Structure 1
Amino acid sequence: MARRYDPELLVGLGGGSSMDCAKGINFVYSCGGRIQDYWGTGKASRPLLPMIAVPTTAGTGSEAQSFALISDSQTHVKMACGDKKASCRVALLDPALTVTQPPSVTALTGIDAVAHAVETYVTSRRNAVSLAFSREAWQLLAENFTRVLAEPSDLDARGGMQLGACFAGLAIENSMLGATHALANPLTAFYGIMHGQAIGMMLPHVIRFNGVEFDGWYRELLEYVPSTNGDGRHGPASHALADVVADFARRAGLPERLSQCGVEREKLPVLAEDAAKQWTGTFNPRKVGQEELLALYELAY
């Protein structure tokens, strides 16, 4: 269809999948081949068309990233296709466009944005630029997530979520993600569990796991949660922050255990093997391999 109209630019209007689809179209339209040819980084052989992103959810932050996550139609594996040429020239954030989301979409995309803020804050690639975006994203998301769940028409809260998700996307662009996303992707590929559900179940366990070595970093985030005032609740700050995140997912009505989603315990080693192959896991601050990832699945079961 793009070839039929000979476009001068592309507009990605919708959620993260829609914006990533626009990037995928741009790769293939501008450079030829199949989308699988762009799995990885820096694979675009020619300049891409300029793109405008108009997000209608507050989740992926794709409008601020040079990566597109495209699921293979046969294997359901998520292919990360990244190239600086794929960055959108303009991102238009209008919270009014997010008001008509079903509550479930608000919940699923919102918890994903929360995970982006938390994971980028502690990755092995964290730096001054990414930390500034992660910190601001976390403040906005922690303040507004439960507000949009309770009052879906609250435009101020919607705007806070949308800006927070965008800042978290910029944090990903300057840092990376971690073990939570490595664990979530196989749950989607093998069981069709929605990404936000998988994230919501795994994030608290990853926070506690990483907190063994990096508790201080999580304490810094905890200080921005009004209900805790930075208090580690007489224990590790990572445990307190994990409780905050778990409460977000609970209020959103998301499942808390893998067993609630039809995951079979005997398949956990297979999931862990696949999770160990995920690129994002290599940026987790605490080293993870198949054994550690299996233990995290067990905790979430």
Structure 2
Amino acid sequence: MPASTFFIPSVNMIGAGCLEEAAKSMKEYGLHKALIVTDKVLNEIGVVAGVQKLLEAQHIESCVYDGTRPNPNTRNVADGLALLREHGCDCVISLGGGSPHDCAKGIALVAANGGEIKDYEGVDRSARPQLPMVAINTTAGTASDMTRFCIITDEVRHIKMAIVDKHVTPVLSVNDPQLMTGMPKSLTAATGMDALTHAVEAYVSTAANPITDACALKAITMISASLRAAVADGNNLAVRENMAYAQFLAGMAFNNASLGYVHAMAHQLGGFYDLPHGVCNAVLLPHVQAFNARVAAERLRDVAAAMGVNVVGLSNYEGSQACIQAISKLARDVGIPAGLRDLKVKEEDFDTLATNALKDACGLTNPLKASHEDIVGIFKAAM
């Protein structure tokens, strides 16, 4: 087994009511003026004001950038950076789901390293750590609150840039399920399936190790047991907390074992059509694993078992097929669209999408190497 390096924020708070404790920790870090990166909805419904009130109690000033798009782009990073510099902020707080977290990472990284965010596309391209960043999660899925991954859309090339850099890891992640109860059903489903995708791809990754395996399998078990209930009743705090832990476990898995072709392909759909990331992952996940089953059947059988499938007596191949069926059923049960056709994806774009997917850093650890034709075939199967 090759040597492994394990990345994670130095402090992580999970549980109902932990947001207030997080504000006190920020004061201990010696932070004075924060740029809060969020979206307009969270600002309009008062979540941002609540965070600002907690910061004020710790004598931390703040200003707000709420222009983050659902798929944050280079313009969002540039606009937020301009506001940070204008106000002389010494730290960044991201508030929301993966989009504000990724946008905030881009801002904090460029603030410390100079240039533009596109200069850092790829793996570990920066020279120094970003400004101190605190990530406050309001969804249970992306794990961007605790990873070294930052996904930013390049509007000129219509692709999502994968920035994988140890320097974009937040100093503190906060998962308070009380902030997650307001999530609509569709967002709960999409982010939950995103977390499942993280765990499955990490488990079959060529960079998997005993630590990531343990995190991935536990995440898969918790998501399979809790996601349907979280979608059915968003105010069920116990289920929300289970999903908060599960998404964090999945984050620990993929932050260190990386991902695969599901993400490499989903990034292209998101960049090209501006589609929701979690939904793209959910639609692609069973089809990519059907491709992977040629070499990862035993691992997929383990995933099926973690999802609650009785695999006793099943061969590795049979177990892998049961896994794919279980993933598809969970997606259906929580209301994920049946295929890419429902997302208005066009078959004539597959050639371009496949070319770009094969350039995405997330595909490097997929268990089975794909040709251009293979990727096109998976896109077709997912229609």
Q: What letter is aligned with 1:46?
A: R
Partner of residue 23, structure 1: 105
- 281, 284, 296: which one aligns with 2:363: 281
Partner of residue 52, structure 1: 134
- 146, 156, 172: which one aligns with 1:64: 146
TM-score by length of 2: 0.74
Partner of residue 89, structure 1: 171
User: What CA distance in whole angstroms lies between the structure 2 residues aligned with 1:75 and 1:44?
Assistant: 22
Shift of 1:233: 6.9
Answer yes or no: is 1:299 the counterpart of 2:370.
no
CA contact (8 A) 1:207 1:239 kept: no
Partner of residue 131, structure 1: 213
Shift of 1:187: 1.8
Cα distance, 1:19–1:242 mapped onto 2, change above 3 Å? same
Cα distance, 1:114–1:232 mapped onto 2, change above 3 Å? farther
Structure 1, unpaired ranges of 5+: none
Cα distance, 1:83–1:216 mapped onto 2, change above 3 Å? same
User: What CA distance in whole angstroms lies between the structure 1 residues aligned with 2:368 and 2:123?
Assistant: 24
- 335, 346, 351: which one aligns with 1:269: 351
Q: What letter is aligned with 2:175?
A: L
CA contact (8 A) 2:109 2:129 kept: no
Cα distance, 1:28–1:221 mapped onto 2, change above 3 Å? same
Q: What letter is aligned with 2:107?
A: I
TM-score by length of 1: 0.94
Shift of 1:8: 2.9
Matches within 5 A, 1:162-241: 162-226=244-308, 228-230=309-311, 236-241=318-323
Shift of 1:9: 2.3
Question: What are the superposed Cα offsets for residues 67-116 of structure 1, whole Å, 9 maximum, x if unpaired?
Answer: 21111133331112232222111111111101101111111111111100
Matches within 5 A, 1:105-120: 105-120=187-202
Shift of 1:232: 7.6
Partner of residue 7, structure 1: 89
Cα RMSD for the two superposed structures: 1.8
Moved more, 83-92 or 186-195: 186-195
Q: What letter is aligned with 1:278?
A: D
Matches within 5 A, 1:32-47: 32-47=114-129
Cα distance, 1:275–1:43 mapped onto 2, change above 3 Å? closer
Number of residues of Structure 1 aligned to a counterpart in Structure 2: 300
Structure 2, unpaired ranges of 5+: 1-82
For the pair shown, the structure with the greater C-alpha radius of gyration is: 2
Shift of 1:177: 0.5
Shift of 1:231: 5.0
User: What CA distance in whole angstroms lies between the structure 1 residues aligned with 2:229 and 2:350?
Assistant: 35
